[in-house]
Amino acid sequence: MAEIVDFKIIGDDRGSLISLENLNNIPFEVKRVYYIFDTKEGVRRGFHSHKNLKQLLVCVKGSCVILLDDGINRENVTLCEPNRGLFIGANIWHEMYNFSNDCVLLVLADDFYDETDYIRDYNKFLKTII
């Protein structure tokens, strides 16, 4: 279920750089970027699926775990490398947890924020995937 995207690190003796490009190493056109940081101890976020939104999550600093649930199978993916992204398409229930104190979770999305695209009730989510 987990679709991992590996990014090329462009490194030299000054350090490392990663470039993200629409429809090149990002599998969609990016309309929105947001990032989650300064998460509190033991917090769990997410608890929703999206009706249409496609997203790519990259933990650019620290680490966190993403639970993916397609209504049949569940999978937990640890994100801890800035050169590794996790694609989450529509209709995947997801939760984020085990954030390290220094975690910065960068998210690229193919559309603007729209609360009507969220399904925040797990039983409603299960009904949508039948």
Residue 37: which of 16, 62, 18 has the closest Cα? 62
Site string for ligand T46, 25-44 (x = CB under 6 A): -------x-x-x--------
Contact 103, 60 (CB under 8 A): no
Closest approach of ligand T46 to the CB of residue 49, in Å: 9
Identify which of residues 17 and 37 has a Cβ nearer to ligand T46 in the complex.
37
Shortest distance, CB of residue 46 to ligand T46, whole angstroms? Answer: 5
Contact 40, 98 (CB under 8 A): no
> Using the rule CB under 6 A, is 60 a contact of ligand T46?
no
122 forms part of the interface with ligand T46 (CB under 6 A): no
61 binding ligand T46? (CB under 6 A): no
Structure tokens that stand for 97 in this block: 């947890």
| Cα angle, residue 15 at apex, residues 11 and 21 outer, rounded to 5° | 55
- Of 113, 121, 124, 128, the one binding ligand T46 by CB under 6 A: 113
Residue 120 Cα to chain centre, angstroms? 16
User: Which one of 32, 45, 48, 84 is the catalytic residue?
Assistant: 48
Shortest distance, position 76 Cβ to ligand T46, whole Å:
15
**Helix ranges, the chain (H):** 122-128
Give the catalytic positions in this structure: 48
